[in-house]
Chain A
């Protein structure tokens, strides 16, 4: 698996998309720090961007990489390598290189701005951890979609729809249901509903840590009331881990049965 991982990363490092992504984060970091002149505020702004953008990029990259490397995959399948190692290697390769772009792209401007001397270093680390989680989750989901869909265009369509669903539609439906059923106690419902959306979960995770109650929103407030800050962090981190593990298990399951 390590060999496959190595080749996937090598392959991605040669593609210009990784660099575009890296440069995008680099510019984003510098611009935000320039505009906010305060690391704390820059982190909050960044949070709102990362939470929507990393899933989108992860989704597109995951689907694109799967379809683009199909030939490579077929070549590998005829070699004495276990199937699950091929797909696991590719998946980790994509997720890891995206996370590296995120870490280095945002890391450089923040370090230059004196991150190590500021108290916000843990907040920044948490932001990167959440971004990495979202990368791993959405690349895995995208791989699941691509593995099930032979047709490239359809695969892209489903993947974007999946992202749209988690990033936008889910929240909309959630808000509407809260509005309609506002006469009922909705705490538990809200809590459970949050668990089913990794983007919401990540948002709450960071806001809990930053301790900005004004931005927590309904679910965040319920979350904090229910679990308290540190237990809430633990819960949301473990659920995010589950969000990685389940799709990865599904990748191995589907790829084991697929015909090439």
Chain B
């Protein structure tokens, strides 16, 4: 479904993506892991057309996404940092995003699920970090799209919201969606991910299931297995 071919990206002198090749099939939860600065967010932003790669191509359902715009209608994206225009209220923001996308949206169940009703009339600038992240999640999940990209979805969430998030992700998976997640919380990966994509130095260092990773590194704990992958590179 997603095919990334020989992707290169440099920011000044810093090489972030260095000939990355990746194929992701339709359906399932894919965790994109890697140490800080390994290019996870850059990869995602390339997929969304926010960062323009120096070389290489990205195919979605066989069609190149570079310099295109309409394909984003079929992607739900949760940005890493919930930066919203601070002088809008939550309701205004929801309506605006709905207005900008030519597809139906249903935000009501999510408003209830994340307990956002009391905040609907409040300005976004006055919300706490966790509440902003809930609004962020709501904007992401209110559309019905085949591809869902979550960049650090757990940031700032309380345990109850986290449980609701996990349920929501599972429900989407059961509908046959493809879900890409980046996170540093290994228990979250262990619990949710069908497959792990491990990025290091701008390349795919490992791709496979959680079980395969544990077997390959001879570690029974995912956190140690990942640490093992990172440290092996340094040695």
Q: A-side interface residues toward B, CB under 8 Å?
A: 3, 7, 11, 14-15, 69-72, 74-83, 256-260
Contacts and interface: CB of A to CB of B under 8 A. Distances in A.
Interface in B82-139: 83-85, 87, 96-97, 99-102
B71 interface: yes
Contacts of A7: 96
A77 B49 CA distance: 8
Contacts of A79: 72, 97, 100-101
9 shortest A-B CB distances, which residue pairs?
A71-B83, A80-B73, A80-B72, A259-B51, A82-B69, A78-B77, A72-B85, A260-B50, A79-B100
Interface of B: 11, 45, 48-52, 67, 69-73, 75, 77, 79, 83-85, 87, 96-97, 99-102
Contacts of A260: 45, 50-51
A76 B71 CA distance: 14
B85 A69 contact: yes
Contact of B97 (A69, A75, A258): A75
Nearest to B78: A78
Contacts, number: 60
Contact of A81 (B50, B96, B100): B100
A3 B99 CA distance: 8
A69 B88 CA distance: 12
A71 B84 contact: yes
9 contacts: A14-B87, A72-B85, A74-B50, A75-B84, A77-B49, A79-B72, A80-B73, A81-B69, A260-B45
Nearest to A77: B50
Contacts of A258: 52
Contacts of B71: 80
Contacts of B48: 77-78
Nearest to B53: A259
Given A78-B48, A80-B70, A259-B52, A11 B87 contact: yes
Given A71-B83, A259-B50, A83 B97 contact: no
Nearest to A258: B52
Nearest to A85: B69
A71 B86 CA distance: 9
Nearest to B73: A80
Contacts of B79: 74-75, 78
Contact of A80 (B52, B69, B85): B69
Contacts of A257: 52
A259 B11 contact: yes
B1 to A, nearest CB: 18
A14 B70 CA distance: 30
A134 B84 CA distance: 31
B64 to A, nearest CB: 16
